[in-house]
């Protein structure tokens, strides 16, 4: 049998080996559970290991193969989900102590159902900011998820546990959610691939909401091939393979004002002749996104805040209370501006297939001092790591965070932003960058350089 260590970080390779009977799904899952038990304590990425369920699902995969049936394109591949997906038999906590004793979910979230039908094996739920409200995965109940590249730094959030588990090599892929950047931010800071799809493209059934206007689920993976495989399973359709030349542009203005020099150099090297586009009213768009997010989040939790506001994480509670008090007229004005803005941006980028932009403004900040430089002044990382992702969520466009090749240095990512429904083009362009060695995942070992 092929050694598990040879394929542990590749979903495609694991599934191929399991389907080819070179290894059993049970052996893959037992090894994965052992690694999670050993590797999670320093990371604080896992909230609940699901060993019994995982072994039962692996047994079903092996039984299917024994009878000559193909269990699916993700046969025997272990994965985890952010702690806001419904998992049958468990309370859906959304990272909050308020719902630890809630009634258990009666069925799995739709995304989990689709993955199970494709042979994937759920092994854990993963840490997050309470109610997905933050970019840091600083959680009062489960602790702060650490960055595998430097345990003294944040993994980003709010899907930090999902990103850290993949970046550390504990899982081949995972699922998170992205409202204003909660997949793309931790993907950038931990050096992996993370997708925010076209708004509404992936199934949201059984996912605890934050702000429905922006909420999407999205996968993390360590290669474009794995990302594309998971995408095809979740959408239920194969990704189209367009063959036309890809028209690229670079985003300027605020996207270059708050960026690492390596990000700017990479964008200019990837597409030196591509036009530089300034998206209009970026600051206004981000402010409107903040307002809509706060209003929808506050409305969702208004009753719980009224019953026991002190049970919330203090950092979450204050923002939810502020959102609950926002006048409805402001919310409606922000939504009206959003509708107009989306149309303006789609018209502006009509001649381009991929827009290049930074995914985060900097590398992961230290846990001990979670602040970052924005416009030359220190700003809370928990609020402002999404400065480049939030305006893209506002438009509903798909965005794939890809890791720059930075061996021995802390990770940084770029956003590949597409037109509505343009995920296949993003995957194709990302694969070209990966093949050229411009992007790709590097091992966390040794990447502790102070920056």
- Residue 444 included in any domain: no
pLDDT digits (tens, 9 = 90+) for 277-316: 999 999 999 999 999 999 999 999 999 999 999 999 998 9
pLDDT digits (tens, 9 = 90+) for 127-138: 999 999 999 999
- Residue 442 included in any domain: no
- Residue 449 included in any domain: no
Q: What is the pTM of this model?
A: 0.96
Checking if the pLDDT of 451 tops 60, the result is no
Asked if 66 and 173 sit in the same domain, the reply is yes
Checking if the pLDDT of 226 tops 60, the result is yes
Q: How far apart are CA 358 and CA 366, in angstroms?
A: 20
Q: Given this model, what pLDDT does residue 88 score?
A: 98
Phi, psi of 408 (to 5 degrees): 80, 0
Strands 276-277 and 377-380: unpaired
Asked if 421 and 386 sit in the same domain, the reply is yes
Percent of the chain with pLDDT over 70: 96
pLDDT digits (tens, 9 = 90+) for 32-48: 999 999 999 999 999 99
Q: Given this model, what pLDDT does residue 244 score?
A: 85
Checking if the pLDDT of 229 tops 70, the result is yes
Asked if 226 and 295 sit in the same domain, the reply is no
Asked if 217 and 264 sit in the same domain, the reply is no
* Catalytic residue set: 82, 158, 182
Q: Given this model, what pLDDT does residue 380 score?
A: 95
Mean pLDDT value of segment 106-112: 98
Domain containing residue 390: CATH number? 3.90.1300.10
Asked if 314 and 226 sit in the same domain, the reply is no
Contact 67, 105 (CB under 8 A): no
- Residue 447 included in any domain: no
Asked if 320 and 430 sit in the same domain, the reply is yes
pLDDT digits (tens, 9 = 90+) for 62-94: 999 999 999 999 999 999 999 999 999 999 999
- Residue 15 included in any domain: yes
- Give the pLDDT band of residue 408 (cuts 50, 70, 90): confident
Asked if 129 and 274 sit in the same domain, the reply is no
Q: What's the chain's average pLDDT? A: 95
Checking if the pLDDT of 6 tops 60, the result is no
At which of 176, 209, 235 does a domain end?
Answer: 235
Range of the domain at 72: 4-235
Nearest to 266 by CA among 451, 446, 433: 433
- Residue 109 included in any domain: yes
pLDDT digits (tens, 9 = 90+) for 128-181: 999 999 999 999 999 999 999 999 999 999 999 999 999 999 999 999 999 999
Q: Given this model, what pLDDT does residue 447 score?
A: 45
- Give the pLDDT band of residue 446 (cuts 50, 70, 90): very low
Checking if the pLDDT of 19 tops 50, the result is yes
Q: How far apart are CA 259 and CA 333, in angstroms?
A: 30
Asked if 136 and 275 sit in the same domain, the reply is no
Signed CA dihedral, 56, 61, 66, 69: sign only: positive
Checking if the pLDDT of 448 tops 60, the result is no
């Amino acid at each position: 049998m092929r050694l598990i260590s040879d394929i542990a970080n590749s979903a495609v390779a694991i599934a191929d080996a399991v389907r080819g009977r070179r290894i059993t799904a049970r052996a893959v899952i037992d090894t994965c559970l052992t690694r999670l038990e050993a590797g999670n304590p320093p990371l604080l990425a896992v909230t609940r290991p699901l060993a019994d369920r995982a072994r039962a699902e692996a047994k079903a995969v092996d039984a299917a193969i024994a009878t000559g049936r193909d269990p699916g394109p993700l046969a025997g591949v272990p994965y985890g989900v952010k702690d806001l997906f419904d998992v049958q038999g468990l309370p859906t906590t959304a990272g909050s102590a308020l719902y630890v004793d809630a009634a258990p979910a009666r069925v799995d979230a739709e995304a989990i159902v689709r993955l199970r039908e494709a042979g994937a094996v759920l092994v854990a739920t993963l840490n997050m900011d309470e109610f997905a409200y933050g970019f840091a995965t600083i959680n009062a109940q489960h602790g702060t998820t650490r960055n595998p590249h430097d345990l003294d730094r944040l993994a980003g959030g709010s899907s930090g546990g999902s990103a850290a588990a993949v970046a550390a090599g504990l899982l081949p892929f995972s699922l998170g959610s992205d409202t204003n950047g909660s997949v793309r931010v931790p993907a950038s800071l931990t050096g992996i691939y993370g997708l925010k799809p076209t708004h509404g493209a992936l199934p949201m059934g059984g996912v605890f909401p934050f702000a429905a206007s922006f909420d999407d689920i999205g996968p993390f993976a360590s290669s474009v091939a794995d990302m594309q495989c998971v995408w095809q399973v979740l959408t239920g359709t194969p990704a189209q393979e367009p063959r036309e030349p890809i028209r690229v542009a670079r985003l300027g203005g605020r996207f270059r004002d708050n960026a690492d020099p390596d990000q700017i150099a990479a964008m200019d090297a990837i597409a030196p002749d591509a036009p530089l586009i300034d998206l209009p009213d970026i600051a206004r768009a981000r402010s409107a996104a903040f307002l809509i997010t706060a209003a929808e989040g506050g409305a969702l939790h208004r009753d719980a805040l009224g019953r026991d506001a002190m049970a919330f994480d203090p950092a979450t509670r204050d923002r939810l209370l502020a959102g609950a008090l926002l006048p409805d007229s402001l919310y409606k004005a922000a939504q009206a501006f959003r509708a107009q803005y989306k149309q303006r941006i789609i018209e502006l980028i009509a001649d381009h297939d991929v827009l290049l932009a930074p995914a985060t403004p900097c590398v992961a900040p230290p846990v001990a001092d979670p602040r970052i430089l924005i416009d030359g002044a220190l700003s809370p990382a928990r609020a402002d790591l999404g400065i480049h992702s939030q305006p893209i969520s506002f438009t509903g466009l798909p965005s794939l965070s890809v890791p720059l090749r930075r061996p021995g240095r802390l990770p940084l990512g770029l956003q590949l932003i597409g037109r509505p429904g343009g995920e296949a083009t993003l995957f194709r362009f990302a694969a070209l960058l990966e093949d050229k060695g411009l992007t790709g995942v590097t091992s966390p070992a040794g990447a502790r350089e102070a920056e």
